[in-house]
Amino acid sequence: MAGQDITIQGKDGSFSAYLARPSTGHGPGIVVIQEIFGVNAVMRQVADDLAARGFFALAPDLFWRLKPGVQLTDQTDAEWQQAFGLMKQFNPDTGVADIQATIDTLRKMPGVNGKVGAVGYCLGGLLAYLTAARTDADAAVGYYGVNIQEKLAEAGGIKHPLMLHMAEADQFVPPPAQEKILAGLKGNPLVTIHRYPEMNHAFARPGGKHYDKACADLANTRTQTFFRQHLS
């Protein structure tokens, strides 16, 4: 079943989101949290893949306050510059508020079993961590989140399971930042961290410069198992 763009009503206004439904018509919901490139073909494919596995996947346009409808690729320098520019202007606090509105929308959707998780990549990896700390999502997964080390004071707010996939050779999350994250979340029974030796940032983005199929498949399998465990 092909996905479609829908409109979500948030507390600050309405914004678009890409919705992919499971063919069964019932199952848990998952918020797909974008990278810095917007709700592009890669994020839409993530949603489609989740729908094929029995989830309602909804990817909100979190850049709507800055520039609605962003769909960049990682293939040109100009697009990278535009993406970094958007990331610098982006306010994570309003982003998390929009994620909560997306969670609320999924929970009310016919066919959704009431459980809603979230999965995010890059910028979305940070937002997945904040989603675990600030929203009522039932489970969250973050892939190579950036700047989590600056938000460790919020770890006490985590009330539901969180899984983080960390690339050990991440150019945007250097070793000192990784060590801070590991130390800051150590001993939290709700947090699981998987580390991927020699992997660089975005190792799970198909078509990306650092894509590694073996590690991407491993991370994705762990994510699927995690969601089945906590959202069924």
CA 10 to chain centre: 18
Q: Using CA atoms, how far apart are residues 53 and 231, in angstroms rounded to an integer?
A: 13
Q: Identify the three-state secondary structure at position 153.
A: helix
Catalytic: 165?
A: no
Catalytic: 201?
A: yes
Marked catalytic residue, from 74, 138, 170, 212:
170
Q: Using CA atoms, how far apart are residues 122 and 114, in angstroms rounded to an integer?
A: 27
β-strand pairing of 162-167 with 191-196: parallel
Q: Using CA atoms, how far apart are residues 7 and 16, in angstroms rounded to an integer?
A: 4
Neighbour count for residue 27 (Cβ, 10 Å): 22
* Contact by Cβ (8 Å): 103, 136: yes
- What value, to the nearest 5°, has the Cα angle with vertex 82 and ends 74 and 50? 45
Whose structure tokens read 């399971």? 161
Marked catalytic residue, from 74, 98, 201, 212:
201
- Active site (catalytic) residues: 170, 201
